[in-house]
Amino acid sequence: MGSSGYEPKNKAVKWFEDQLPILGLIHGTLGAGYKAPRNLNYWWNFGSLAGFMLVVQIITGIILVMHYTPHVDMAFRAVEHIMRDVNYGWLLRYTHSNGASMFFVIVYIHILRGMYFGSYKSPREVLWFLGLVIYLLMMATGFMGYVLPWGQMSFWGATVITNLFGAFDFYDGMGESILHLLWGGFSVDNPTLQRFFSLHYLLPFVIVGVVILHIWALHLPGSNNPLGIDAKGPGDKIPFHPYYVAKDAFGLSFFIVIFAVFIFYLPNIMGHPDNYIEANPMVTPSHIVPEWYYLPFYTILKAVPDKLLGVVAMFGSILIFFVLPWLDGSKIRSAKFRPTTAFFFWLFLANTIFLGYLGTKLPDEIMINMGGGIDALTLGRISSVFYFAYFIVIVPMVSRFETTKPVPTSIAQAVLDAKKGA
């Protein structure tokens, strides 16, 4: 975030800029003043896409609040009122509910991009931390938002997730005290709904704040790039505007088409039919599943037979990303030049998707019909072990011992070589 080289020509603008240099700030952050590596590929679109989704969620969310009532007797009906009576209410709600899923898809791709190309490595560790903080805030916001329609999945999802904190039962009654504090009662009830609503409204703005820090931290070292080498001379960089503004805009229009397909043709595919039944504390749905974006972590929770250790493993599976910059001891950032790293990265991705798939299954469900049959719980345990082994064993070892490919001397050179080859 610098105001490099911004000289307004208009006198009035210059007068304003001298007193509040905000236009220069924007120019240096998202305009021609920011020089980005010339070789960014389409995986670098997902940062700005995530920013777009945050804005969409905030706008649709603020409008939905105008028609919603956070009370156990009225919340479910308020959502039906939005769907049936409010002009374009269905569109706003479907945009918001599918928007949450889209936001997570984009952020997952954004995180995986960072993992593959080594964007978390020095000098961008703090940038990586801020991204993870945004992700954790998103998880909390998404969870609390899912509770607001007050359907069966809302209620029981809230019950299961809040009960996780009861696992911290280090002296008699401690777990219970934590739960009563979280709920404002003896179970998930009206006080819980109201505080979730308040926080669901607040947290997106906290996310905006951390996003600003994230961009600030990005612009000190500048963007990483597919080669993972530092951009040095002016030949390695091009101005963000118009080059990446145009590229981001093209990617955005492509994304909006996909987003629209979900909103208009598959609006409930990410949801669960039980959430169209009003919350009932006397009846647990036969099968509780969280939203898809939590499923891998849910499988890890279920895989551990001990309650406290299960919760620790589940939180640990996310928090371990914070130490990734030090687990990875390679001098080279991009997996393009680290074939073994790239192989295990794809294996890790496949395993995490499989963990998510297992999250939708009952523990006793037979998955592979071999011998006595292998159930989802056993596979979940194997997959969970691999998940942690990736961070604790594979990344530290592979990054330190693998034979890497030669790295180009500069981005400009690599681009020229690629052209010669073609």
Partner 1 sequence: MTTNDQVEHEEEVTRRNFLYVASGVVGAVGVTSTVWPLVDQMNPSADVLALASVEVDLSSIPAGQTIKILWRGKPVFIRHRTADEIATAVADNTSDLKDPENDQLRAERPEWLIMVGVCTHLGCVPLDQRGDFNGWFCPCHGSHYDISGRIRKGPAPRNLEVPKYAFLNDTTVSIG
3-state secondary structure string across 218-261: HHCCCCCCCCCCCCCCHHHEEEHHHHHHHHHHHHHHHHHHHHHH
DSSP 8-class letter at 173: T
Scan residues 346-365 and list those touching partner 1 (CB under 8 A): 362-364
Report in angstroms how near the CB of residue 361 gets to partner 1 at its nearest: 12
Report in angstroms how near the CB of residue 184 gets to partner 1 at its nearest: 6
The one segment of 120-128, 213-221, 222-230, 306-314 that binds partner 1 by CB under 8 A: 306-314
Candidates 22, 260, 283, 368: give the one binding partner 1 (CB under 8 A).
283
Catalytic residue among 27, 96, 200, 219: 219
373 sits near partner 1 (criterion: CB under 8 A): no
User: Can 3 be counted among the known catalytic residues?
Assistant: no
Catalytic residue among 17, 236, 248, 328: 248
370 sits near partner 1 (criterion: CB under 8 A): no
Name the residue nearer to partner 1 (CB basis): 183 or 244: 183
Q: How far apart are CA 2 and CA 5, in angstroms?
A: 9
Report in angstroms how near the CB of residue 297 gets to partner 1 at its nearest: 14
User: Can 198 be counted among the known catalytic residues?
Assistant: no
Catalytic residue among 17, 274, 291, 328: 291
* Three-class secondary structure of residue 278 per DSSP: strand
Neighbours of 81 (CB within 10 A): 15
Cα pseudo-dihedral 303, 309, 311, 312, rounded to 10: -120
Q: How far apart are CA 134 and CA 117, in angstroms?
A: 20
Candidates 57, 95, 97, 162: give the one binding partner 1 (CB under 8 A).
162
The one segment of 102-110, 158-166, 220-228, 322-330 that binds partner 1 by CB under 8 A: 158-166
Nearest CA to 379 out of 395, 365, 394, 391 is that of: 365
User: Can 219 be counted among the known catalytic residues?
Assistant: yes
C-alpha count within 13 angstroms, C-beta hemisphere, residue 34: 26
The residues, any chain, with a CB within 8 Å of residue 222's CB and separated by 6 or more, are 35, 36, 37, 231, 237
Query: What are the φ and ψ backbone dihedral angles of 34, each rounded to 5 degrees?
Result: -95, 120
User: Can 248 be counted among the known catalytic residues?
Assistant: yes
Nearest CA to 54 out of 102, 1, 112, 113 is that of: 102
Helices 339-359 and 89-116 sit at what angle, rounded to 10 degrees? 150
Nearest CA to 324 out of 410, 274, 392, 253 is that of: 392
58 sits near partner 1 (criterion: CB under 8 A): no
Candidates 164, 203, 208, 342: give the one binding partner 1 (CB under 8 A).
164
**Could you tell me the two tokens for 313?**
């493993």
184 sits near partner 1 (criterion: CB under 8 A): yes
Candidates 234, 305, 371, 406: give the one binding partner 1 (CB under 8 A).
305
Candidates 58, 67, 137, 189: give the one binding partner 1 (CB under 8 A).
189
User: Can 334 be counted among the known catalytic residues?
Assistant: no
What is the DSSP annotation of 188-218? S-HHHHHHHHHHHHHHHHHHHHHHHHHHHHH
310 sits near partner 1 (criterion: CB under 8 A): yes
Report in angstroms how near the CB of residue 72 gets to partner 1 at its nearest: 10
Catalytic residue among 97, 101, 223, 383: 223
Total of chain residues touching partner 1, rule CB under 8 A: 35
Name the residue nearer to partner 1 (CB basis): 365 or 417: 365
Candidates 67, 180, 241, 381: give the one binding partner 1 (CB under 8 A).
180
Query: What are the φ and ψ backbone dihedral angles of 259, each rounded to 5 degrees?
Result: -55, -45
Q: Would you please indicate which residues are annotated as catalytic (active-site) residues?
A: 219, 223, 247-248, 291
Q: Rule CB under 8 A: which residues touch partner 1?
A: 156, 159-160, 162-164, 166, 180-189, 191, 195, 281-284, 286-288, 302, 304-307, 310, 362-364
